[in-house]
Every structure is written in structure tokens, then in C-alpha cells.
Amino acid sequence: MVTVNHDYLNLRGSYLFSEIAKRVAAYSAANPDKKIIRLGIGDVTQPLPTSVIEALHKAVDEQASAATFRGYAPDLGYDFLRNAIAEKDYQARGCDIRPDEIFVSDGAKSDSGNIQEIFGRDNRIAVCDPVYPVYVDTNIMGGRAGSFDEARGLWDGVIYMPCTAENGFAPELPAEVPDLIYLCFPNNPTGAAITKSALQEWVDYANRNGCVIIYDAAYEAYIAEDEVPHSIYECEGARTCAIELHSFSKNAGFTGLRLGYTVIPSDLIRDGVEIRSLWARRHGTKYNGAPYIVQRAGEAVYSEQGQKEVRQLVDYYMTNAASILAGLKAAGYSVSGGVNAPYIWLKTPDGMGSWEFFDHLLTKANVVGTPGVGFGPHGEGYFRLTAFGDHAATAEAMERIRRL
Ligand code: MLT
């Protein structure tokens, strides 16, 4: 008799952004005349940089001739891309990371969900609360979350690190020592950043206790302040305790193209095993590599022109972040984030619940955001807006919110 994977049956409801899309589609179908502004999911709106488009065209043309045609990509990524990443994202910042410690993939979402597979089922995970839902959902799928406590809205097998206004949305070192610690900075969803000295404390904690930090650096390009590190490998000792995840989606607009990478240093050894060898084995077995044309597009991001264009894209979105922050403050909202991150985290007005505010904003202003509670119980009473809209739509959304 066929049975299913019962760990999947433990998942609660549907994936957050699918649920939002469903609700917005229902509202839109019932109110076809309403012009909805979407500041919910962190999807980019501006076209790909010119250097990326040119690289894509060139790589497509190469596929048209037998002499330059490429079939399966190397499963861990082409050397031209791994070398560019090692040089520009790490060595240029003084981080000791080699190309053979970089694993190219189809994006940070897949990697952040898949990475748990190479760790034992009995590992205890620690996550921020609120948190990007992929980390928890994939550990539920992996049978690591225990049972759901309905009253508290928490999984009893997971160590939660509350991020609240009181602690500046910065998690504290957990008293109960976990095995795997998920950190994301600049943070999704709160937009909070971490200083290098604060991150060093996490690295020291992990090395002291034998933990592994899974560090999601998807929003690194948005860092504006000097004391905020661009990589966990800027911290001393991170090579022996940290995995880092990167995306090309938020900096260079690859949400539709799909490209990312994960760094696992050779010094990261647990249970007598080099962790990167397991990830390489997984890649080799389950993955045939990101497409050649997409990896060439990724390489173009590191060209001088590509870097300039990425900076312009980031500046474009951060102009939105500044106008959302200013607009919400002027309208009397309590807000944070939006300085080193493209997310603005606001306290819902008049004690409204997160979903109540979602409905309020959708029906009264036709603006879509993300309910904070969708990221975890400590997100209740909060709401996330993204800076990834276009300028006109973002300004219009602010005007509608001001008029509420
Ligand atoms: C978000 O809105 O949190 C992100 O866009 C989701 C993602 O990157 O997968």
C-alpha cells in the first residue's frame, strides 16, 4: 500500500505567499475595477541590467552553433562564475573563500530549503521569530520540528529566538543550545541589520558549542551602513561554523531567471565529515547545474558595468524604501527596517491583527502587503511592505495609505 510522507501532512495551511496570492486573486476577481498595488512578496519590478541582457543574448547565440554549444553544466557550477564570485564577493572583501567552496544553484530559496537535508533528523534548529517561512517549513518536511503547539502557534521541536521592538528586532543568543542556527541579515522580514561585532558573537557562540550557522545573505546588496558586514566570513572563525546563502534575485533582478549560490568552507566539519562533501554529493545526484546562459548572465553581474548597474537598481529600490519610511512615519505609523534592507516593518495601527490589517489595506486602499504573523507569532501586530515596486506605484500606495 502506498503511504505518503507524513512529515508533509504536518505542514500548516499553504505557503505564506501562495495564501496571499490566493486572497488577492479572490478580491481582484470580485472587484475587477480596482487597481491593486502589490507590495507583498519581495519580487522585483525593474528590468534586468543591460550587461546581463547582453550576456544572455551572447550565450543564447553560442547555443546555436555546434562549436560553442553547451549541454549539461558542471553540477557545482561553471568555473568562470565560481571564480568571479570568489574574487568579487569574498577575496575583494578580505574573506578567505575559494572557488571550490562555492556551489552554484537555481536560487537561495531552493538552497535555504534543501540545506537541511544533509543534516541528521535529530538536529535541533533555532530560528528567529518572525522568520522567512522556508526555513521552518522545510524542517517540518524533514521531520525535525516536533509537534505543533496550537495555543502558542509554535513547533515544540524548534528553538525560537524572538525579534521584537524591545530587542531592536535582533535575536539573542539562545539559552538552550541548538545544532543548526538560521540567521538572515539584512533581515527578511523585519529589515533589521546586524553589526560585525554582534555577528562575531554568533560565530563565537557557534564555534564554542559546535553549532552550524546557516547565514542567509540574500539582501547583502542593500547594506548601506559601514559597520554592517556583507558576509559572515568577515568574522573571525566563521570558516569552521558557517554556511552562507546568496541570491542574484534581489541585487540583479534574477527572480525569474533563477540563480544563487551557497558557500561551504572546507573547514566546516561535523560528525567527522566535511559538510561541503555532502552538499556536493547532493548537488551531483539531484541537480544538473544552473543553465549555461543563466550562469553567463550571473558572470556579467561581476563586470565593471554590471556592478554599476546593480548599484543603480539597488538605489532605485532604496529610493522607494526611503519614501515608504517617510510616508508611513508622516502618517503616524511606527516603522523600522528600510535602511539596509528593501523591507519596511510596521506596527499595525489601533491594535489590529496582522491579517485584519492585510484585509483593511487590501479593501480600503487596494494595497497588498505581507501580514507579520505569517512569519511567526512574534510577527503578530506587524506588517511588511516591500520596496521592490516601481516608483509611481509606491508613491501612489503611500498616498492611499495616508488617506486611510
Ligand atoms: C519574500 O517576499 O519574503 C521573498 O521574496 C520570498 C523569496 O525570496 O522567496
Note whether 289 and 340 are same-domain residues: no
Q: Could you please report the per-residue DSSP string of 336-359?
A: EE-SSSSEEEEEPGGG--HHHHHH
- Does 355 share its domain with 369? yes
What percentage of the chain carries pLDDT values higher than 90? 97
Rg of the chain over all Cα atoms, to the nearest angstrom: 21
Burial 307-344 (b: 16+ CB within 10 A, else e): bebbeebbebbbebbebbbebbeeeebebbbbbbbbbb
- In a domain, residue 38? The reply is yes
Q: Which helix (H) or strand (E) holds 270?
A: strand 269-270
CB of 116 shorter than 6 A to ligand 1:
no
Residues 82 and 30 in one domain: no
Q: Give the 3-state secondary structure of residue 311.
A: helix
What confidence tier does 309 reach under pLDDT thresholds 50, 70, 90? Answer: very high
391 shares a domain with 274? no
Mean pLDDT across 346-374: 97
Residues 214 and 350 in one domain: no
Closest listed residue to residue 107, CA positions, set 291, 309, 231, 343: 291
Ligand 1 centroid to residue 41 C-alpha, Å: 6
Identify the domain boundary among 276, 303, 330.
303
At 12 the pLDDT is 87
pLDDT tens, residue by residue, 171-228: 999 999 999 999 999 999 999 999 999 999 999 999 999 999 999 999 999 999 999 9
Whether residues 292 and 398 share a domain: the answer is no
The pLDDT of residue 69 is 98
Domain for residue 271, yes or no?
yes
CA of 42 relative to ligand 1 center, distance in Å: 5
**Are both 113 and 154 inside the same structural domain?**
yes
Q: What is the pLDDT of residue 263?
A: 98
129-153: average pLDDT: 95
| Domain assignment of residue 348, given as a range | 8-47+305-402
- Of residues 66, 44, 404, 25, the one with CA closest to residue 258: 44
CA 338 – CA 388 distance, rounded (Å)? 11
Based on the fold, state whether residues 107 and 256 are members of the same structural domain.
Answer: yes
Report if residue 2 sits inside a domain: no
- Counting the structural domains of the chain, the total is 2
Residue type, 322: A
Give the distance (Å) from ligand 1 centre to CA of residue 11: 19
pLDDT interval class at 15 (50, 70, 90): confident
Tell me, yes or no, whether 1 lies in a domain.
no
- Which of 97, 344, 30, 48 has the alpha carbon at shortest distance from 243? 97
Domain containing 36 — which CATH number? Answer: 3.90.1150.10
Residues in the chain: 404
385 and 311 share one domain: yes
Ligand 1 centroid to Cα of residue 43, in Å, is 7
324 with 110: CB under 8 angstroms?
Answer: no
Please indicate whether residue 42, judged by its CB atom, sits closer than 6 Å to ligand 1: yes
> For the residues 233-260, what does the mean pLDDT come to?
98
The domain that contains 89 carries what CATH number?
3.40.640.10
Host H or E run for residue 83: helix 79-85
pTM listed for this prediction: 0.96
Average pLDDT, the chain: 97
Question: Does the beta carbon of 190 sit less than 6 angstroms from any atom of ligand 1?
Answer: no
Ligand 1 near 188 CB (within 6 A): yes
Q: Which of 256, 283, 303 is the last residue of a domain?
A: 303
Question: For residue 188, which atom of ligand 1 is closest to its CA?
Answer: 3
Statement: residue 14 has pLDDT above 90: no
Domain contains 388: yes
Residues 268 and 388 in one domain: no
- Residue 10 — pLDDT band, cuts 50, 70, 90? very high
Cα–Cα distance for residue pair 300/303, rounded to 1 Å: 5
- For residue 267, the SS3 value is coil
pLDDT at residue 290 in the model: 95
If asked whether residues 277 and 267 sit together in one domain, one would say yes
- Residue that finishes a domain, picked among 303, 323, 345: 303
pLDDT tens for 56-68 read: 999 999 999 999 9
Task: Tell me if 142 is assigned to some domain.
Answer: yes
Both 162 and 57 in one domain: the answer is: yes
